[in-house]
Amino acid sequence: MKKLLLTEGLLACFFLALLLGFLGKYLVREREGQETNANVSIEETREKGTLWMDAGSVSESFSPLQYQSQGEKNVLAMCFMNLISRDARGKRINKEVAQKWKEKDTEAVHISVIYDEKKKFSTVTIQINPKLKTASGTALNADDLLFNFYLRCDMAGVENEPFGGVHIVGQEEYLYGSKNLEKRKKEIQDSLKKPSKELQKQLQENIVKKELSGELEWVRSLFQDDAYEEVIAEYGEPKDLFAYYYAYQTKYSAKGKTEQQVFDDVVSQYGWHYDWLAKVTNKDYMKQAQELARSVLLKQNGKDTVKQIAGIQKKDAQTVVIQAEGEEDCVDKLCDFWLLPMEEYGNRELFDGEQSFGFQKGDTAQILEQSSKQYCGTGAFYTKKINAEQILLERNKNYAGGKAKLKKIVVLRKNYEEEKDIVEDLLCQNVDIVITTDTVELNQLIQSRATHASYLIRKKVIETEQAENCLLYRTSYVNAPSIPQKLTEYQSIFEVIHTLKVNTL
């Protein structure tokens, strides 16, 4: 009996020592990371339940209405819900409208599609999730769906494709404000030959001045590049080279004038004449001019006679019905966009659901600007602050998928160029998750035992055609089981960000 007790005691001591050994190693690794964390200031001390990440390459300004990179899409996916829900392969998995909403349903909408072989269009019924709410508690309904479809039609105008090439019945007539399309197109062309004072103002501000402002920025950049030393030596200042390149009056001199005076003078030389500017820049501004002319024309009394898109109808408080050209699969493009709450981005006073849909027809610039300054949708998080260094997200307690496990996410605008900088930041705890490109050098760095990277950093490959195809995370902080086992372009941590956890002692 004594022998048995002695054996059990020795075993207990062994397992206790083993447990303490693992705990000791964990604490040592954490301390080593903390000791090298010299880049984090006292003000940026980590809050409990906060995760820092680099979501991939992002530009200075982007929005749910205009974005380019996968990194930007990743950020938006945390704040907004796409109408289309997809599985890991990208296949649409929205339930049918006839199905009842259940407590665990997290998709933004239910969708049903019926194709009419004779008329060659599909009838798409979209029913919004009754649980969708913004962080402020505002519930979304069919009016928000109307706002979104009309907004995207208006923003795209007559020359672009708002829904990936899928046309809604009556869309063009609405945009031109007339059922006689040929007559209206001729009116627009005629207005550009002899523009009104208002159109002249719009052409100068939105084409001439805007384009020349971009060209001035380009000229300034040349003076920061050593490859153009000879040019810099000859012209001295950006204003002199700008005047040489873009002044319409060939004898114009920038001597004795400030850069702003030179810019204003050059803009004044062109006036509203975008066609003169086209000869200098070798760019075609005709489509932009036509859009401006259309917008100005529609604001004239009696010119806008089509107030609704014939193919969009509100069925009930939660449902809209859309007739779109094409077969059933047209819905994959028609509904592939981020849902913007009208309460956050539109104007309720300009919504009646019949002739006005939350904004001034032909004037969406303010909404576009607002959408790049804040991301407040029905996603798991919303923006608290956006600046040049980071995007601070706080959780949306009203998210339909349930309250996120994380309280805050700090999205760092690192745009890493060197693999060693990524690994160093992970080791120093300056970042917890990084989306980046998988390379040989990166693999060598994270397998290093000398820096402890081999057990402090883990990598998961993302099945995608995008360049940024792997996820790196800190093993001691990010809860590995909460990361989806399989990561693809359509099923990433960002779509299920509300389930991501961090480890706490």
Distances (CA, A) of 156 to 28, 269, 368, 474: 56, 31, 12, 42
Q: Which domains, ranges and CATH numbers included, belong to the chain?
A: 44-80+379-504 (3.40.190.10), 81-177+306-372 (3.90.76.10), 188-299 (no CATH)
Q: Are 64 and 377 in contact (CB under 8 A)?
A: yes
Q: What are 493's two structure tokens? A: 């941590």
pLDDT of residue 397: 96
Side-chain half-sphere CA neighbours of 442 within 13 A: 23
Instruction: Convert the pLDDT of each residue in 162-197 to its tens digit.
Output: 899 999 999 999 999 999 999 999 999 999 999 999
Q: Are 187 and 320 in contact (CB under 8 A)?
A: no
Q: What is the pTM of this model?
A: 0.85
Helix (H) or strand (E) holding 287: helix 286-298
Q: Flag residues of the chain having pLDDT under 50.
A: 1-6, 10, 16, 18-20, 22-23, 25-44
pLDDT of residue 505: 58
Distances (CA, A) of 21 to 15, 16, 27: 10, 8, 10
Q: In 10 A of CB 68, how many CB atoms? A: 11
pLDDT of residue 41: 39
pLDDT of residue 39: 42
